[in-house]
Copies of this chain bind each other. A is one copy, B any other.
Amino acid sequence: MKKETVIKAKRQFIADCTKNLIETAGIDSINMEDIAKASEYTKRTLYVYFKSKDEILLWVFTDDLIQRWNYQKIRIQQKIKGIDKLKEWAYAYLDYCSENSITIPLQNYMDYHFVNLEKVDNEVFSRFEEINTALAEGLRLIFNESLKNKELRFKVNIDLTISQFLYSYRAILQRAFSSQYSFTTIDKKEYVDYFIHSFILGHFKKK
């Protein structure tokens, strides 16, 4: 194997060990010591492959985004109309979160802490930026198609719509999967259905 390939494989291995660690121990308590133990490397070796814990976490987060987007893409390509693609996008995201227990906690962590960019190599950040852009572009395609087909109720600002759909839907998913104190208890599927229903009412013409 080429040296580069070996390095990439080792980085991926360390990231995968970290992912497992997050699944079992939760994301908040993890440190480099734990990651070293889990991957059976010394902390010193770990630092050969990653600059910091933040860099590893961003790598794991990026992996999860890539995997999620691949999962969503397969589902939405089976749909024709923009409105149906958007619904499928949302339900695929919901299903993905149900199947991958670290997705919501990881997203919560990133929403709250993100990472210190000084502790992250450009290359690792670019990898994150790339999938982040791809995810936004995927939604842009759906909304642009809906706009073209006159499915939308008003001339929406696509950038704002994508951003607000993402942020509010994410909050809805976080709430749906949370066990935190609230004034009311909820059913995941019903909760998400209701959000999608009213988002679509707000943005799409009635059939």
Does residue A24 face the partner (Cβ distance < 8 Å to B)?
A: no
Contact partners of A183 in chain B: CB under 8 A: 132-133, 136, 163
* A29: Cβ under 8 A from any B Cβ: no
- Tell me whether A195 is interfacial, beta carbon within 8 Å: yes
Q: How many monomers of this protein are in the complex?
A: 2
Tell me whether A159 is interfacial, beta carbon within 8 Å. yes
Main secondary structure, interface of A, reads helix
> Which residues from chain B contact A170 at a C-beta distance below 8 Å?
171
- Taking a contact as CB atoms under 8 Å apart, the answer to whether B133 and A194 are in contact is no
0/1 interface trace, chain A 164-200, chain B, CB 8 Å (1 if under): 1001111110110000111110100011001100111
Bound: A79/B117 CA distance, A? 46
The answer to the question of A108 belonging to the interface, with a C-beta cut-off of 8 Å to chain B, is yes
A202 within 8 A of B: yes
Contact at A194–B157, with CB atoms within 8 Å?
yes
The reply to whether the CB of A80 lies closer than 8 angstroms to some CB of chain B is no
Report which A residues bind B (CB closer than 8 A).
108-109, 111-112, 114, 117, 132-133, 136, 153-154, 157, 159-161, 163-164, 167-172, 174-175, 180-184, 186, 190-191, 194-195, 198-203
